[in-house]
Amino acid sequence: MIFTDGNEQATNYNEYSYEKAVSKSDKIKRILYFAAVVFIMILPILIAMLFHVYFIMYVMPLVLIVGIPLAKYFFKYFQTEYKYTVNRSNFKMELIHGKSKPKTLYECDVKDMEFAVPASEAQSRLDGRKFDTKAVCLVSGDSPDKYVTAFRDKNGKSVLLYFEGCKKSLKIMNYYNKNVTVSSELNH
């Protein structure tokens, strides 16, 4: 597979995004968050009623005007999406909360990756190794397309990154680094 014609951007570029699955602990956090928001919005009204303050008609709209946008703003942190991009030999992992702007988590050159293999094959490469950062960017812990890679980030720290494998991205990465293994069992 040669990637050198005028369509270099089209053949050497892939973007793959996926949402993190909602776990039981995430559901509990959402319920507690909702309860806290309701309590915080009702609290000023209850205080005004308790002390027989008659400016409740001014407090209630203020609580709604301030409370609802704040609740929406913070709720986006319960909606986690990961996106990684392979652009020629550049690998970039990003985090997206809700519909906000992507935040770059890690970026490296594919040539600098020590390996990128299915997680089931990675144990022999990880034995006794210490990493400065271990990151899990998966749909869920039991994902069938779980891959693991090791590299040094821009700050020189060693990173162990678990991510969802995608055939096209891994083929591009394998072209630039033969230590990238493309599994035939990938779903995407």
Let me know whether 102 and 165 are in one domain: yes
Residue 18: per-residue pLDDT: 83
Let me know whether 113 and 36 are in one domain: no
Residue 8 placed within a domain: no
Residue 8: per-residue pLDDT: 47
99/133: higher pLDDT: 133
Residue 6: per-residue pLDDT: 46
- Supply the range of the domain harboring residue 40: 24-78
How far, in whole angstroms, is CA 91 from its chain's centroid? 14
Quick one: pLDDT band at residue 151, thresholds 50, 70, 90? very high
Let me know whether 115 and 151 are in one domain: yes
Number of domains in the chain: 2
Let me know whether 84 and 71 are in one domain: no
The label of the residue with tokens 């309701």 reads 38
Residue 39 placed within a domain: yes
Residue 113: per-residue pLDDT: 92
CA atoms of 31 and 36, how far apart (whole Å):
9
Residue 52 placed within a domain: yes
Average pLDDT over residues 170-185: 81
Segment 22-36, tens digit of pLDDT: 788 888 988 888 888
Three-class SS of residue 134? strand
Segment 85-121, tens digit of pLDDT: 999 889 999 999 888 899 999 999 999 999 888 888 8
Let me know whether 122 and 160 are in one domain: yes
Let me know whether 56 and 92 are in one domain: no
Residue 47 placed within a domain: yes
CA atoms of 142 and 86, how far apart (whole Å):
24
Segment 152-161, tens digit of pLDDT: 988 889 999 9
Residue 172 placed within a domain: yes
CA atoms of 105 and 95, how far apart (whole Å):
6
Let me know whether 91 and 30 are in one domain: no
CA atoms of 87 and 97, how far apart (whole Å):
23
In contact, 188 and 166? CB cutoff 8 Å: yes
pTM value is: 0.75
Residue 14 placed within a domain: no
Let me know whether 97 and 30 are in one domain: no
CA-CA-CA-CA torsion sign (38, 103, 110, 15):
positive
